Amino acid sequence: MEGCDYRTQCEPVRARFAKLKGREVALSVENLGKVFRAPDGRAVVALKGIDVATHRREFLCVVGPSGCGKSTFVRILAGLETATSGVVRVGGVPVSGPGSDRGMVFQGYTLFPWLTVLRNVAFGLEENGTPRREAEREAGQWLALIGLESFAESYPHQLSGGMKQRVAIARALATRPRILLMDEPFSALDTQSRARMQAYLIEIWKKIDITIVFITHDLDEAIHLADRILVLKAHPGAVAELIEVPVPRPRSHAQALGPEFRATRARLDALIHPPEDEAEAEEAGASTLVTRMTPAGDEVE
Ligand SMILES: Nc1ncnc2c1ncn2[C@@H]1O[C@H](COP(=O)(O)OP(=O)(O)OP(=O)(O)O)[C@@H](O)[C@H]1O
Ligand SMILES: [Mg+2]
């Protein structure tokens, strides 16, 4: 498709972004900073001067090198961690702690093992004061949405990793948050389960009024899912770039071979793995040593 790389967008993609930006801002972050105190008393600047705003029903992915502050960022959005500076707003209102306007799904399996699937999903509703019978009825509807109604009476240990994460998504959505925060939710899954979960998530996202902030290490996953990708750089964690993904929707994995996907991937690689990366250079040096462990002339290729 001509004129459709990560900067110059083709018409359907331009129209999609115009529509997206016409919606109100759901979540905004201004000048966000976080300094941790290491055990030896040293200050660790995890995040510095982060500015970003997501629009209602946007799918925002956050990527960046390990340790750049992705989890810290999303935990601050969730109110599980306090910022050292800056402000987070949901629907224009500053937030300072956890709230039912934000749901969170973690990387690890965090369902309550002693509760059935149905009761896991109903848990937050009951916490919010919904009577048990009503909470279970609503939880049943969420289970139907994720296709697990027949597992309502099962316990978490009876489910596969992908199923557990589907229940975790239903549990996070049951209290009707405006924002769904996800920290590498599929990274423990095998490739096929991960692809299935991506498809589930997109189906859910299309059906309900939710804005998603999704952290991932996997650059292809980010391109497959996101409207925009917030790229962070490390030490301190700061915004490197905010990329509008030019890949048309609906998306398929076959698009990974297309020019828009490849151009976006090349840009992400350039931002996250710059050629002057010293660690990479060191690694390359180490692998030369390893290749010399085979006798000369005994090449396999
Ligand atoms: N509770 C803490 N106390 C001290 N330092 C912390 C704490 N939590 C995080 N850090 C530091 O803050 C920085 C960012 O950590 P964070 O876990 O947010 O990065 P990340 O991008 O999520 O990493 P990964 O890709 O490995 O998940 C790191 O240098 C980390 O060591
Ligand atoms: Mg992390």
Q: Quick one: 56 exposed, middle or buried, by C-beta within 10 A (0-12, 13-18, 19+)?
A: middle
Q: Is residue 293 part of a domain?
A: no
**Alpha-helix residue ranges (DSSP H) falling in the chain:** 11-22, 70-78, 117-127, 132-145, 161-174, 191-207, 219-225, 259-272, 278-291
Strand order in the sheet with 93-94: 43-55, 25-37, 85-90, 93-94
Statement to judge: residues 273 and 164 lie in one domain: no
Statement to judge: residues 68 and 123 lie in one domain: no
Between CA 171 and CA 112 the distance in angstroms is 11
Statement to judge: residues 202 and 280 lie in one domain: yes
Statement to judge: residues 159 and 232 lie in one domain: no
pLDDT of res. 56:
98
Statement to judge: residues 205 and 255 lie in one domain: yes
Q: Domain span at residue 124? A: 109-176
Closest residue by Cα to atom 23, ligand 1, is: 67
Ligand 1 near 109 CB (within 6 A): no
Q: Is residue 294 part of a domain?
A: no
Domain count for the chain, please give it: 2
Statement to judge: residues 259 and 118 lie in one domain: no
Q: Is residue 220 part of a domain?
A: yes
Q: Quick one: 42 exposed, middle or buried, by C-beta within 10 A (0-12, 13-18, 19+)?
A: exposed
pLDDT of res. 272:
94
Instruction: Name the stretches of the chain with pLDDT < 50.
Output: 1-3
Between CA 120 and CA 146 the distance in angstroms is 14
Between CA 193 and CA 186 the distance in angstroms is 8
Statement to judge: residues 143 and 187 lie in one domain: no
Statement to judge: residues 126 and 251 lie in one domain: no
Closest residue by Cα to atom 5, ligand 1, is: 36
Ligand 1 near 69 CB (within 6 A): yes
pLDDT of res. 1:
45
Ligand 2 centroid, distance to 183 Cα (angstroms): 7
Nearest to 219 by CA among 258, 187, 252: 187
CATH of residue 254: 3.40.50.300
pLDDT of res. 277:
53
Long-range CB pairs of 108-116, under 8 A, 24+ apart, other chains included: 108/188, 109/156, 109/161, 109/164, 109/165, 109/168, 109/188, 110/168, 111/156, 111/164, 111/167, 111/168, 111/171, 112/156, 113/155, 113/156, 113/157, 114/155, 115/155, 115/156, 116/152, 116/153, 116/154, 116/155
Write the DSSP string, 159-213: S-HHHHHHHHHHHHHHT--SEEEEESTTTTS-HHHHHHHHHHHHHHHHHS--EEE
Q: Are 123 and 112 in contact (CB under 8 A)?
A: yes
Q: Which atom of ligand 1 is the closest one to the Cα of 235?
A: 29
pLDDT of res. 301:
78
CB-based neighbours (< 5 A) of ligand 2, an ion: 70-71
Q: Which atom of ligand 1 is the closest one to the Cα of 68?
A: 21
Statement to judge: residues 113 and 258 lie in one domain: no
Mutation pick for ligand 1 pocket among 32, 44, 66 (CB with most ligand atoms within 8 Å):
44
pLDDT of res. 284:
54
Statement to judge: residues 88 and 208 lie in one domain: yes
Q: Are 221 and 253 in contact (CB under 8 A)?
A: no
Mutation pick for ligand 1 pocket among 47, 50, 70 (CB with most ligand atoms within 8 Å):
70
